[in-house]
Chains A and B, each alone.
Chain A
Amino acid sequence: MKALWLELKEKRTSYLFVAPFLAVFAVFVVIPILVAVGLSFTYFNMIEPPRWVGWSNYLALFLEDDVFLIAVKNTLLFAAITGPLSYALCFVFAWLINELKPKIRAVLTLLFYAPSISANAFMIWTVLFSGDAYGYINGVLLYWGLIDKPVQWLVDPNWMMPIVIVVVLWMSLGVSFLTFIAGLQGIDPIYYEAGAIDGIRNRWQELWYITLPMMKHHLMFGAIISITNSFAAADQIQALTGTAPTDWATWTIVQHINDYGYVRYEMGYASAMAVLLFITMVLVQRLVQRLLRRLG
């Protein structure tokens, strides 16, 4: 105890520097996690005080809530597709852009990055995939005679998920993409020259033996961001396919959480879902980090 006090006193500048940030971080990140875990064992509607219900929220999720199970399936499917794909797109495009002249590189970086920062620009996809003949895609397909009546892209469960994936991928070249661009620019060209002398014959060998190992830390950071985003998509999906999609075909866990939290005020139940999603995310992250560490 005394040693701790001495440490605090001796390093007080350091602690004072960290303290304000840490306080806000604690209130809005650490405490919410604990609150969510606590509430997940209660029934809480924001009017009456929380009532302890043990594991029944968790049991109800798996035994009584069919929509939740659909949401779990959709979320995992969605994350398993968009996570790796968006990660790969971020890297491949960054890698290809990096080969170009600086001016073109800056323009293409902006072009690829812009959708991820453009607030609600993704709403244009609802016009493109609109279910009537005025929708651009329907219009073109009808005009060319490829279909004879408009396809209900955002209402037909066969099409909803693929379209949502296309749109989310479109806006997913964000922080990871910039990280890779920057990481690639940071590799000293001397390594490539040395590689060429040592017998590297083509760009694939160069990529595998030089670029990827040099980028390892950026790749790990990018993976974290891509995975987090792939599990969190909700608002864009809801904007595309609505608050009650056909057959719940694009309903994800985050949407289900928001539905129970903000619409039905079942905070305990919503918290139980949040806790499960949180655990899943962290486990997936750990697994992927372990895999990536093994590379190179």
Chain B
Amino acid sequence: MRLRISHRRLARSTGGDVVILIFLGLGAIYMALPMFYTICQAFKPLNELFIFPPQFLPRHPTLSNFSDLFLLMAQSWVPVTRYLFNSLFIVGAGSAGNVILGSLAAYALAKHDFKGRGLINNLILFSLMFAGSVLVIPRYLIISYLGWINTYAALVIPAWGTTLGVFLMRNFITHMIHDSLLEAARIDGASEWYIHWRIVMPIVKPAWLTLIILNFQQLWGDQGAMFIYSEELKPLPYALGQIIGGGVGRAGVAAAVSVILMAVPVTVFVINQAKIVQTMGTSGITGE
């Protein structure tokens, strides 16, 4: 059994390989089966969703759940393209702002020496230690105080202050960019602004792609139910959620919705997998 890549065939026993393969196999089944089942459900006609004993694979695969979904969406008085636009706008504006503000801060925090740098770095690390869910109520109050309820801003602007991406980006810049490169650019008379956009950003492309993806995942699934009540401002998952809410008869449609909603982030991840893994490689916490 050739399990290993050549330079790592050290210190391995066949027995261990077998145990590990079995364990990995079980893990893979646990992870993949529900996903696979979701996809199967989406292609089952309604009568196959409620048979006993339940069947795993669709016997007569059909696209009717998807066509029903599009029919239902065509009936809603806000066109589905509007929901899609809302989602894309929220994800796009949220990620763009987070990348622009975050990368500027990450560069300064990684490569500049100024008073308060340590404090800010520690604050950012500290902010990773608690979940945003403990802050939802004051955040809601602040957003309503700012008058952003029922605007895109309520979902977009808080995303700009997300710290995970800045943390990753700062580590990546620290590891990937040598000070001598920056010094050379400074001697040639480049401004810090120029250095950031023309030298640092191209080198750390994997890091900000990762940032975009993390934002994408965060914002794509966000229904924004707390902040948005106008039908024409709701993001796609919200609208799809309303459709699924229609009861048991919509079970097949609901599965179709799940498939559509998961296809988007998974595709984005697949395209950028190598870059993301490269970025996460520098995510370690060094003793500061």
Contact = CB atoms under 8 A, between A and B. Distances in A.
B104 A185 contact: no
A183 B28 contact: no
A194 to B, nearest CB: 10
Interface of B: 3-5, 7-8, 10-13, 16, 20, 23-24, 27-28, 30-32, 34-35, 37-38, 41, 49-54, 56, 101-102, 104-105, 107-109, 112-115, 117, 120, 123-142, 157-158, 160-161, 163-164, 166, 192-193, 196, 214, 217, 220-221, 226, 237, 241, 251, 254-255, 257-258, 261-262, 265-266, 269-270, 273-274, 276-287
Contacts of B50: 134
Interface in A216-269: 216-218, 220-221, 224-225, 227-229, 231-232, 234, 254, 257-258, 261-262, 267
13 contacts: A17-B112, A25-B124, A119-B237, A121-B35, A181-B277, A183-B281, A201-B11, A203-B13, A215-B284, A257-B134, A261-B136, A274-B137, A281-B129
Contacts of A97: 24
Interface stretch (A53-61, A62-70, A105-113, A153-161): A105-113
Interface string A81-101: 000000001001100110111
Nearest to B191: A13
B90 to A, nearest CB: 14
Contacts of A47: none
Nearest to B213: A117
A18 B104 contact: yes
Given A35-B142, A277-B130, 12 more contacts: A20-B105, A25-B123, A25-B124, A28-B139, A28-B158, A32-B142, A36-B134, A114-B262, A121-B262, A183-B284, A196-B11, A282-B129
A21 B105 contact: yes
Contact of B286 (A4, A18, A195, A217): A217
Contact of B10 (A112, A140, A193, A258): A193
* Most chain B beta-carbon neighbours within 10 Å: one of A28, A173, A261: A28
A216 B32 CA distance: 29
A212 B160 CA distance: 34
A262 B11 contact: no
A11 B128 contact: no
Interface in A195-217: 195-196, 200-203, 205-206, 215-217
A14 B114 contact: yes
B112 A182 contact: no
Contacts of A261: 136-137, 140
Contacts of A31: 138, 142
Given A179-B280, A182-B281, A128 B37 contact: yes
B89 to A, nearest CB: 18
* Most chain B beta-carbon neighbours within 10 Å: one of A123, A181, A202: A123
B54 A17 contact: no
Nearest to A229: B131
A14 B112 contact: yes
B163 A25 contact: yes
Contacts of B137: 36, 39, 257, 261, 267, 270-271, 274
Interface string A152-170: 0000000000000000001
A228 B125 CA distance: 12
A133 interface: yes
A285 B12 CA distance: 36
A131 interface: no
Contacts of B196: 17
B120 A220 contact: no
Contact of B142 (A28, A102, A203, A232): A28
Contacts of B4: 99
A141 to B, nearest CB: 10
A179 B276 CA distance: 9
A112 B104 contact: no
Nearest to B16: A203
B237 A120 contact: yes
B20 A99 contact: yes
B108 A14 contact: yes
Given A36-B137, A121-B258, A170-B31, A11 B273 contact: no
A189 interface: yes
A101 B5 CA distance: 6
* Most chain B beta-carbon neighbours within 10 Å: one of A27, A108, A185, A281: A27
Given A117-B217, A140-B54, A224 B258 contact: no
B262 A32 contact: no
Contacts of B279: 182
Contact of A93 (B27, B123, B166, B282): B27
**9 pairs of A and B residues whose beta carbons are closest in the complex:** A217-B284, A232-B131, A118-B262, A24-B161, A32-B138, A182-B280, A182-B281, A21-B105, A35-B138
B30 to A, nearest CB: 7
B138 A36 contact: yes
A175 B41 CA distance: 28
